[in-house]
Structure formats: structure tokens, C-alpha cells
Amino acid sequence: MTALAVTFREYAAICAGIYNAGATRVAGFSRHTPLDQRLSGFQGAVYRRASGDNIDWIVAVAGTQPTDTGGADVIADAGFGGPAPGLLHPVLALVAAAGSALLWHQVSCAEDMVRGARAAMGGRGRLSITGHSLGGGISQIVSARMGIPAVGISAPAVTAVPTVRSSWERTRSPITCLRVRNDPINATGMVGDLLGRVVPLDSPRTGGAAHSIEQTLAELQPSGPFSGLGARDPFAA
């Protein structure tokens, strides 16, 4: 039996679902693990879909949630900027150092989730990682380090983070990033690059609406203006 591809639409649905503790079934995938929420701001889970003999496993990582865990995610976002310049104001340097520490802690949590999924798979099926926003950045980093495919949606640039570019040059893992045209997160391109292939979503949305995973998902649905893209395999040529 030919394995079914996981589409952009399905990855986006999982990226939206990981924000919702009650979303135990999304786009034909069942949540295989309880939602893992940490004081560091990390939030993730493993999703599983079986189709005949084919099983897809997806590790999903949530993005920034400013009102959770005292704003830890917002500080973690600062880690994508890389090491602080030597002349940076001491307070800003402290934020940058804290951001780096929190970001790497969240990466470690996601990598533990990948290892758990691999153990549960028992050598059967396909495994990938996905996330929106901060989660998309973490997904790129984990992919680069562990060699698994990743789909990042509205994700930040990651190559300013130490060792990430060299890790990806070693593994050359398949990574696809869906970039919404007017998304404010695209400004991170001033300090680094996305990894892998970048697929544009030419949505007319602007500002915070352009960053919304719910609105991206709606545009990728069969009734949405980008339904053709939504039905595509992110890793197809």
C-alpha cells in the first residue's frame, strides 16, 4: 500500500491543535501522549495516524503563549537572536542569556519527545516534527540536530542560534517552512535564516492576523483561497 502523504493542511491543523488541551484528535491523527506542559513554557505532544500498514507519527510543539508560565515563551523567543553583543546593555544581555537558556531547554524537551516517539514506533512508520511560531523554530533546530523531517509554519529564522547551521549541514534533514507573506515573524530574517525549503503563502493578511495559525489553517482548507497548497505534501518537489 502506498503511504499517504501528510499535507500542509494536516500539519497546520496539528499546529493549531497543540494549543488546545482538549484536542485529542486532529485531522485524522490521535494524540498518542498527554499534553506535556512545562514551567519553561514548552508545550508539546505526539500525534499518530494509522492507514493500513502505514503509520505516521508527528511531534508537535506549540508556539509562544505570552500569558502562560509568566511569559517564559516570550523570553525563549529572544534566544533566536543568538549570543548578545559584548556592548549590549546589561539588562538586555541578561534577557538574551535567559532566552538562550530557555530556548535550549525547550529544544531538549522536544528532543526527549522525539526519542519517546521513536521508542513507541518500534522501527515502524514515519516520524516528523512540526510547530507554529516558536514551535516552528524549535522544530527546525530539532530536525537539524536529530535528522528527522520538519515542517515549520510562521517560524522564526534559526541560524543565529549557535551550532544550528553546522548541525543542519551535517544531517541535511528535510525541512520545509511555510512563510506567510506579511507575517511580522519574518523580520527575524534580519538576524538569520530559515532552514530548508521555504514555501510562500501569499495571504493578504497583515499584522497579528498574518501570524495566526487558525487563519492560516482556514486559508488552506478545501473552501479556502489556498486549498491547492493545503493539499500538497510539504516534502514533494
Q: What's the pLDDT tens digit per position in 130-180?
A: 999 999 999 999 999 999 999 999 999 999 999 999 999 999 999 999 999
The backbone torsions φ and ψ at residue 31, rounded to the nearest 5 degrees and listed phi first, read: -70, 120
Residues 6+ positions from 127 with CB-CB distance below 8 Å: 57, 58, 59, 114, 117, 118, 121, 148, 149
**Alpha carbon distance 122, 126 (integer Å):** 11
DSSP conformational letter for 187: G
**Alpha carbon distance 138, 63 (integer Å):** 9
What integer pLDDT is reported at residue 1 of this predicted model?
42
Yes or no: say if 101 and 32 are a contact pair by the CB < 8 Å rule: no
Query: What is the band of 39 on the pLDDT scale with cuts at 50, 70, 90?
Result: confident
Residue type, 145: R
β-pairing verdict for 126-132 and 54-61 = parallel
DSSP conformational letter for 3: P
Residue 70 has pLDDT above 80, yes or no: no
Query: What is the band of 91 on the pLDDT scale with cuts at 50, 70, 90?
Result: low
- What is the residue whose three cell numbers read 533566536? 80
**Full-model pTM:** 0.94
In the chain, the DSSP E strands lie at: 25-26, 29-31, 36-37, 43-51, 54-61, 126-132, 150-153, 175-180, 197-201
Span 196-202, mean pLDDT? 98
**Alpha carbon distance 63, 122 (integer Å):** 29
**Alpha carbon distance 73, 209 (integer Å):** 19
**Alpha carbon distance 37, 19 (integer Å):** 10
